[in-house]
Amino acid sequence: MCRHLAYLGPPVTLAEVLFDPPHSLVRQSWAPRDMRGGGTINADGFGVGWYPGEGEPVRYRRAQPIWSDPTIAQLAAVTRSAAVVAAVRSATVGMAVLDGAAAPFAQGRWLFSHNGVIRGWPDSMVPLAAALPVRDLLTLDAATDSALLWALVRHRLRAGVDAGEAVGRTVTDVAAAAPGSRLNVLLTDGHRVVASVVGHALSVRKTPGSVLLASEPHDDDPGWRSVPEGHLVVATADEMRVRPLPTPVRRAGRAGDG
């Protein structure tokens, strides 16, 4: 299992998102509150993506615990952005631990993160993967379920499918092919963020002019709200909508993933 977040709003330092809150993403890397059977810590890598302007995002990814990398703390203190995606990773047993396996994944202006596991990997995904261009399969960032999930979403984005529809349809397709999967996804282009909730928790804090989505609330602010299971969030800094996923998905089990 992993922990992840997405922020849209007035420019903030990365430290304000990653380090400063009492239950920040960095703290969740070694003291998560809600792993749901998917390990105990998130020490198998981390990644941060942010938008320095209207161009493509910048990423920093490493295959080590976020607390053991001195560079990210220094970088976070001096880097500001109005849009951030970050994740800390607990690798599923048998999957690679390397820089390319850490979210966020990226192409163009898109950043993507997956908190969860695809059951029956890789056999359960063979029919869906077969519909992808061969080049996409040969150029995955890593041989992991998260990288393939990103390839499936990206394929729909390239075909002109709306971001919310691309995430919703992909998640329900994967849930049908691999029942019991955990499929909490974050996708953003720096202006809008889409998030799915399947098998794990996601909380949202919406304020005038900003939105923060996170696997776990970062503090005791009463503004945090839990997103219901089987729902999709589509948000900008100014507005947010929560709706059911296109079709019902079976709730994930609680054991054996990581």
Q: Which residue has the tokens 């161009």?
A: 55
Half-sphere exposure of 70 (CA within 13 A, CB side): 0
Measured in residues, the chain has a length of 258
Tell me which DSSP letter residue 37 carries. T
Query: Which listed residue (1, 2, 152, 213) is catalytic?
Result: 2
Residue 86 tokens, joined: 């970050």
CB within 8 Å of 46: residues ≥ 6 apart? 29, 61, 62, 64, 65, 66, 69, 72, 86, 87, 88, 89, 102
Yes or no: say if 53 and 28 are a contact pair by the CB < 8 Å rule.
no
Residue 146 tokens, joined: 């998260």
Residue type, 116: G
Q: Is 2 an active-site residue?
A: yes
Alpha-carbon distance of 143 to 222, in angstroms, equals 40
Yes or no: say if 9 and 210 are a contact pair by the CB < 8 Å rule.
yes
Closest CA to 239 of 213, 209, 212: 209
Half-sphere exposure of 248 (CA within 13 A, CB side): 2
Active-site annotation, residues: 2
